Amino acid sequence: MNVTLRQLKVFEMVARHLSFTRAAEELFLTQPAVSMQIKQFEDAAGLALFERLGRKIYLTEAGEEMYRLSRDIMSKMSEADLILDEIKGSEGGRLLVSVASTVQYFAIRLLAGFCKQYPKVNVNLKVTNHKGLIQLLENNETDIVLMGKPSEGLDLVSEPLLENPLVVIAPPNHHLRDKKGILLSELKNETFLMREQGSGTRTSTERFFAENGMKISANMELNNNGAIKLGVEEGLGLGIVSQHTIDNEVKTGRLVILDVQFFPLVRTWYMVRREGKRLPAVGVAFENFVRQEKLRFVRLP
Ligand code: PGA
């Protein structure tokens, strides 16, 4: 069968998401380009690999078999990359790091420090929420992840990294800004800007309020910290964010931290990888750099 690696990669992505659109997005291709690759693959195979029922696509029997094989081939290809990286040593090579959106500010500084020490390293950084990171780990699409505590039961190795205090932020003209020891009940009538489902910050905030018998009104859901901070600055409501993400805004007086009972809620960031995952030399160098140098890059207001 005369199939190119590129066709295999496109096929694997469409089969994984069962969506031409998602595959096109992830591969930075247009949808017609994806359809063309799949068509050429099917022509070479002499069989249909997908079938369309209504608006959904499904793998055919041949498609299922090819999906299993293509994952094996892709994983062998990354193994080949690893072996070449090992030969190159930590001087060069590619580092796949993924971080939670609360970690991104710290992670960028950390990576800048790391790249100064290892200027030939090629870094690929993905920023997403807790749920997205678990998916990346499960799909073996990343080497190292910096994130909130992953749930038990997954085959992951996690080591605690730093405290991640969550605080309540408000615009500087908020009526509670100078009040000490604000009671939770005093926030009853406040509106909160919440992170999206799948965010670790959202899960722990909801859990905290539920444990304290309080239902907060979340009129607006925003899928990143930057948007929450801007929304709070604009007076749309209060936010609950990691203290690591607001250094600049607090310094310049655009946001204030409210002194609320039980806050900060202290979570922990972890450095996580799949158990048994063979890290490239550059990955091992990065892990050691994080362990030794992390405190240099922390900026808390
Ligand atoms: P998130 O980050 O809120 O962006 O998901 C924190 C975490 O990983 O728990």
pLDDT digits (tens, 9 = 90+) for 147-172: 999 987 789 999 999 999 999 999 99
Where do we find the tokens 């090629």?
122
Side-chain half-sphere exposure of 179, counting CA atoms within 13 A: 14
Q: Return d(Cα 141, Cα 57) in angstroms, integer.
A: 24
Residue 39 CB neighbours (<10 A): 12
Beta carbon of 224 within 6 Å of any ligand 1 atom: no
Taking a C-beta distance cutoff of 8 angstroms, is the pair 42, 3 a contact?
no
Indicate left, alpha or beta for 237 from its phi (over 0: left) and psi (-120 to 50: alpha).
left
Instruction: Report pTM.
Output: 0.77
**Mean pLDDT value of segment 112-121:** 92
Give me the pLDDT at residue 90, please. Answer: 63
64 contact partners, CB below 8 Å, separation of at least 6: none
Cα 233 to ligand 1 centre (Å) = 21
Angstrom distances, CA of residue 29 to CA of 20, 25, 26, 35, 123: 10, 6, 8, 10, 22
Beta carbon of 148 within 6 Å of any ligand 1 atom: yes
Side-chain half-sphere exposure of 289, counting CA atoms within 13 A: 21
Beta carbon of 199 within 6 Å of any ligand 1 atom: yes
Domains 5-71 and 163-267 belong to one CATH topology: no
Domain residue extents for the chain: 5-71, 86-162+269-297, 163-267
Give me the pLDDT at residue 222, please. Answer: 93
Beta carbon of 129 within 6 Å of any ligand 1 atom: yes
Q: Residue 76: pLDDT above 90?
A: no
128, 130, 131: residue to mutate for ligand 1 pocket, most atoms within 8 A of CB = 130
- CATH of 86-162+269-297 among 3.40.190.10, 3.30.1300.10, 3.40.640.10, 3.20.20.30: 3.40.190.10
Architecture of domain 5-71: Orthogonal Bundle (1.10)
- Name the token pair of 28: 């930075």
Q: Give the tens place of pLDDT for each residue, 51-65.
A: 999 889 999 999 999
* Ligand 1 atom index nearest CA of 133: 8
Domain 163-267 CATH class label: alpha beta
Q: Give the tens place of pLDDT for each residue, 175-189.
A: 999 999 999 999 988
Cα 129 to ligand 1 centre (Å) = 5
Query: Please, what is the average pLDDT of the chain?
Result: 92
Task: Let me know how long the chain is.
Answer: 301
**Mean pLDDT value of segment 111-135:** 93
Q: Give the tens place of pLDDT for each residue, 135-153.
A: 999 888 899 999 999 987 7
